A and B are shown apart, each in its own frame.
Chain A
Amino acid sequence: MEFIWMVAEDGIPWRMPILEEPKDATQVEWEPVPCSASYSIRQIAASSKTAFALDRSGRILMLVLPTHIALRQKIEVYVNQRWYPLVKWRRPLPTDRSEYSDESGKLRRDLEYFEDSPVDGWSWEEPWRTNRDPRSFDDQGWQYAITFLGANSTNWDRQCKRHHFVRRKILRRHMRFTQHDKWIEFSPEDDSKMFVELACGGAEIMEDGEILLFALGTDGNIYRRAGIRTNIPNGTEWCQLPKIQNPSTNEEIDDVTLLAISPTLGTLICITWDGKMYQRKGISCAIPNGAIWRQIPTPKNRAVIGLTIGTEAIWCITADGMVWFARLEIDRRKMEHTNIEELNFQEVAKSGICRISLTKNDQVFCVGSEKEVMEVRTGIDSSEPSGKKFEVMKYEGNEKKRWISICAASSNLSNIPKYLLDPRVLQARQEIFQFKNTFWRKQILESLQISNDKSWEIMKDVKIEKISDDFGCENVERFRKIKAQLVVFGDGQRQMRSVNLRISEAVFEIEGERNIDCAMILSSFSGFQRLPQKYLLHILVKNEAQPISFAFTDESSRNSCQEIVDNIIRSYITTSARNSLGQSMWTISNSGSVRWHCLAEMDPKFEKEIPLSDTRSLTVPGNFESIDCGANRLVWAVNFAGDLYSLHPRFDPLSTLDHTFEYRQTDELRHELYEYQKSAIFRGFVTFQGQQKGVSAWMSKNEGAAPQFYSGLASKFWTWIDAEWRLEDSDEDSWEYSNEIDGNFEIGVGKGEGKIRRRCWIRRAKFETNKSVWAKVEGPSVKVVRVAKVENQNSVTVITLTRDGHLLLRLGVNRENFTGSSWSQIVTDSPITAFHIQKHEKIWCITTESLIIWKTLVDTEQDVWNYLDMNLPSRKVVVTQKDADICGSNDILYLRSRNVLFRIDSANLTCSDPYPMENLRQAVVNLQGQICLLGSNISIVNEWKVMLYEDKKTTIIQPRSMNRAMNFGKSIICIAMY
């Protein structure tokens, strides 16, 4: 949720929700957010997650916006005991560490101290719990050592031996922030400081969850709040900045009145009583307090009384009421504004505005000076950065109040939404949404669809009849003629030969080369080649290992050819015999395109499913990085940028009729281009021609050789975000060196190292379509999504793993409501690497510390996780954090770490030796519980041979029978099966 914050004259803060596509007026209503009666607010500064309000008496209040992921902090206390003869385990000696301490033993902790509500706004989640990780602690939670002194974490043993005299256990408790969406006191521990101004920003230069919050104290000093993090929203302490020094007299300047900071970069400017501006130079993530103050010139040397800084724009108001605008130049590598000292202010208006605030994308919200109502500056875009005119926002509540402060810095708005200026827009929308889910509308839609389908069916039938009746009449069987280039491999190189294609319903003819029976065409997928730039279409034919590849010079011819081939495949699938289980597989290729594979085709002769390598597939529109499918044919996918999408259930890859889906799908990709140079005698490093060991001077990270600074993109849905290529590393010496062109490259120590060097160039591109069949599901950035394969009463369990290892459960997902209704967090102690939903009732996870835990999905709020304690020698199963999967069926778990597979029987507590497989990248299960492995090929293992070692704990596994598809494993990055 994005808001713009305002303060009314009576001291009550208001906020305005900003939505791109609001359904009706209630979603964007302005709402008052009052503090308790004693406060009268005069200013608000906000970031996208938190808002800070400054009261007239100088106190700061904070409001933390609701989050999907709970804000939690973990408190740990170690309980230490010593063993004495006769009395056994008791409190330690006075010379030892205290009974309750932190890990080092130095700090003493008292349990009573933690009994009540910890801090204002936080509350305990549960009572003290013992850490029972079975690898380090025994079943009571103790670990033993000989002595406290010098004992570090590796000396502690989980089993008590005769020489162990001390023991400890860890008590753990979490506190959770519960006062979301309410104003609470900001720094109750330090009541002495009072403030008169606030400024909040710097979102893009700080780490995730950190922001820059500056405040002007009543003592004239400027302070920065240190220690602000995602789970510590109010930071830990105030740091004082050094005072500004008057450049001529070297006296300290005491009379700062206003602070302003850019919401995205670290540009902080303050204004003094006499209207002069000073910038704090050198603010960066590493040095958040900045380095030095520098005076900057004001517009025509007039006194400045109001100021706001955006990303590429800066606006100010001078004492004579005039409004000024200047452009800001950004150095994208260093992420800083470069032209602050030479700003070229232009006059925008003679008067009319008394307060002004910029959004992150430089849209202007302001308060008019006459009537003190809220206005916006319309017409701001890249060609007219100062916009066209100030317009009053036509909102009911606007003109009834007088506003004294506004903060738009928390908003990403890049243009003023129409509904702020014209209330009719919302009304029209409301009408549509009013009726959307009524039964009569659904009935009408369904009947229309059925009726349309019927008419077309009739037409199709008639045609076929007609043709067979006619004799002597020319067979009007339609065929299409297409010109393309056939890609052949000759002399070890790829060559292209122009051919004519003649495609009819039964035969795909490449004139002069060969004829392909259309029944043998299995799938088509598109590709893109950079050097030379061509749009490719690969066609997989049954029993052939290599696809047949065609190249087209323009995208639309390739797309129409693909459509024809897909239609052929579609007609074969729809006319073949398929079983009722409807098994299918979804795959994503390395270019992000999605395909649906029909695994339900039956071989009429043998009455079982056709082998995997003979299945057909169809391309589905969309651009994603990972995908999962589950019960009720629900399909969810994640794009490269981490956004989550759900496939509209009425979309059927087999249906030829165009349902008009108008969802918006976006994605973002970073293109990486390596520049190679070889060292030549006397000339130093130079670029080179041709190829060496398959590497040419300019190489795209994923796609091979590429033109220098290429500007071609894979399809019409992609456009560039960055206008040009820039170096990844801003350093001069960002070259990496190596002696072999295909060896390891390292940052050069001295310039003489290595014969080859390379550096990386970056350019970002974005994908956008407004006719997508995938609907976006709002939420935090996601790494992986899993859909349960079995329904749970009336809904299907969908769980996502966010980028920082949190688990979120999506509630209310079913076919009518395919995007679900809300998120609920499944709280875990430590971040999760991978997880698996068993049926619909259990979730298995592997944490980043390679611990396997599970719980039932009934109550997701409580932290009741069970550990899988297999009594294995510790550290046997080590799972890499970045490249791991877990899946399974019933009590059998399959754990994949890089290219190695483990089979864990959780009922009998056995674990297999690692089973390596070449190029293994993913392991998933289908509804039947069979495991499907994505390696160089895609294989479904029908049965495993499991042999037990003597110790009854380890097993060796081998696949007994497999169903393998040889033809396309290499170019696939993700699979999902149902």
Chain B
Amino acid sequence: MDYEVCRKVWDSQIAAQITIQNRDEILPFYTMLPRFSYFSVVLQDILQFFTSRDNELNLDGEKIWLESKGVPLKMYIPIGVIFDLNNEVEGDTWHIVIKTSNAPSGYRTINRETMEQIYLQNLKEADFLKRKAETIQNMQIDEHRMLWDSICNNHFDDFWGINKKLMDTSDKMFDSIPLRVYERNRPAFKQTLLNPRNDSGELVTVGHAICQLLAISEILPTSTLISHGIRIPAETPLIYAAKNLTYPDNFVHICVLKND
């Protein structure tokens, strides 16, 4: 675990401005959203803020949905990934609107408990890819809960105390690396089996892995690989990214953006 990088990644936050649909008289809520968390988790606090300001406001956590710049925001993908995917430049606050109208079809509003299940599901999938789920099956339920709680409450040390076990390669290397690649205007992510080392035993770089995934021959200089709000150099070894540049679900989420 590279402490400096992991710490900075965890501490990355996005400045957001949240308003309520059709209620312009209500002052917007300005806050910093942690990149590693999910909307399902932070929504509760946001709503609480609004209701504490104005007692008559009635926002049903189950019925509202979130939108930014006309695009609905998925609640089950880490906040950082959504921001990187939908926004060009970090120059301004992220305008998010809480919509009370009917959600578009297919939109799922996910509450915190469901999110915990989704999170653990992702975690198990990541561990399965890495080492056939041995580690996570040997962990106790308490530890699973602790992981989730430390995400909700922003406890870096607690989280990594347990996450370290999932990142340990002292016995043997990971079988394959959990990596998801997103492209703008494409529906979902792409994921495939990726080996940390290539045939000659060298470490595979992030650039190569993405080329393999997207079935392109090379990363064009016009595209950038973004994760956690920064440009990831294509030469970064995949195994390094898998240990230090992951989101709490142990996946590396990278957005490939083309600069026009």
Contacts and interface: CB of A to CB of B under 8 A. Distances in A.
A and B are interacting partners: yes
A431 B3 CA distance: 12
Interface residues of B, number: 34
Interface string A428-471: 10011001000111011101111110111011001100100000
A437 to B, nearest CB: 12
Contacts of A435: 2, 237, 240
A817 B107 CA distance: 53
B5 A445 contact: yes
Nearest to A458: B15
Given A448-B228, A462-B17, A424 B170 contact: yes
B152 interface: no
Interface string B142-166: 0000000000000000000000000
Interface string B208-251: 00000000000000000000111111011100100001000000
A444 B92 contact: no
Interface residues of A, number: 28
Given A444-B233, A662-B3, 15 more contacts: A435-B2, A441-B236, A445-B4, A448-B5, A448-B230, A451-B90, A452-B12, A454-B90, A454-B91, A455-B15, A455-B90, A458-B93, A459-B15, A660-B3, A660-B7
A339 interface: no
B9 interface: yes
A427 interface: yes
B18 to A, nearest CB: 12
Contacts of B235: 439-440
Contact of B8 (A427, A449, A463): A449
Ranked nearest first, the 8 interchain pairs of A and B with the lowest CB-CB distance are A447-B230, A440-B233, A424-B170, A448-B8, A458-B15, A459-B15, A451-B229, A440-B236
Interface in B1-45: 1-5, 7-9, 11-15, 17, 30, 32
A452 B236 CA distance: 21
Nearest to B11: A452
A444 B230 contact: yes
Nearest to A661: B4
Given A435-B240, A459-B30, A462-B30, A441 B12 contact: no
Contact of A427 (B30, B170, B228, B240): B170
A458 B4 CA distance: 23
Contacts of B4: 445, 660
B17 to A, nearest CB: 7
A464 to B, nearest CB: 11
Nearest to A454: B90
A452 B30 CA distance: 17
A451 B12 contact: yes
A460 to B, nearest CB: 9
A454 B94 CA distance: 13
A124 B1 CA distance: 52
A173 B90 CA distance: 69
A630 to B, nearest CB: 27
B122 to A, nearest CB: 23
Given A455-B90, A459-B32, A444 B17 contact: no
Contact of A462 (B7, B8, B13, B93): B93
Most B Cβ at <10 Å: residue of A443, A444, A447, A456 = A444
Contacts of B92: 458
A450 to B, nearest CB: 8
A439 B231 CA distance: 13
A424 B13 CA distance: 34
B185 to A, nearest CB: 24
A432 B231 CA distance: 21
20 contacts: A431-B169, A432-B2, A435-B2, A435-B240, A443-B231, A443-B233, A444-B5, A444-B232, A448-B9, A448-B230, A451-B90, A455-B12, A455-B13, A455-B15, A455-B229, A458-B15, A459-B32, A462-B17, A466-B30, A660-B4
Given A444-B230, A444-B236, A451-B230, A463 B30 contact: yes
Nearest to A426: B170
B6 to A, nearest CB: 10
Contacts of A450: 230
Interface of B: 1-5, 7-9, 11-15, 17, 30, 32, 90-93, 168-170, 228-233, 235-237, 240, 245
A431 B235 CA distance: 17
A662 B17 CA distance: 35
A505 B1 CA distance: 40
A196 B12 CA distance: 67
Nearest to A423: B170
A204 B58 CA distance: 77
Contacts of B7: 660
A443 B230 CA distance: 9
B53 to A, nearest CB: 12
Nearest to B2: A432
A455 B170 contact: no
Contacts of A449: 8
Contacts of B229: 448, 451, 455
Contact of B12 (A424, A431, A448, A660): A448
Most A Cβ at <10 Å: residue of B8, B13, B169 = B8
A447 B231 contact: yes
Interface in A3-43: none
B46 to A, nearest CB: 16
Contacts of A444: 5, 230, 232-233, 236, 245
Contacts of A443: 231, 233
A428 B171 CA distance: 11
Nearest to A440: B233
Contacts of B236: 440-441, 444
A812 B125 CA distance: 48
B260 to A, nearest CB: 21
Nearest to B237: A435
Contacts of A466: 30
A448 B231 CA distance: 9
Nearest to B245: A444
Contacts of A451: 12, 90, 228-230
Nearest to A466: B30
Contacts of A447: 230-231
Contacts of A439: 233, 235
A473 to B, nearest CB: 9
A662 B4 CA distance: 10
A183 B93 CA distance: 70
Contacts of A458: 15, 90-93
Interface in A447-505: 447-452, 454-456, 458-459, 462-463, 466
Contacts of B232: 444
A452 B2 contact: no
A432 B167 CA distance: 13
Contacts of A455: 12-15, 32, 90, 229
A452 B5 CA distance: 12
Nearest to A457: B15
Interface string A864-884: 000000000000000000000
Contacts of B168: 428
A454 B232 CA distance: 18
A451 B17 CA distance: 18
Interface string A273-291: 0000000000000000000
A467 to B, nearest CB: 11
A173 to B, nearest CB: 53
Contacts of B230: 444, 447-448, 450-451
Contacts of A662: 3
A440 B7 CA distance: 17
A431 B2 CA distance: 9
B114 to A, nearest CB: 29
B8 A445 contact: yes
Contacts of B11: 452
Contacts of A441: 2, 5, 236, 240
A429 to B, nearest CB: 11
Contacts of A440: 233, 235-236
A431 B236 CA distance: 14
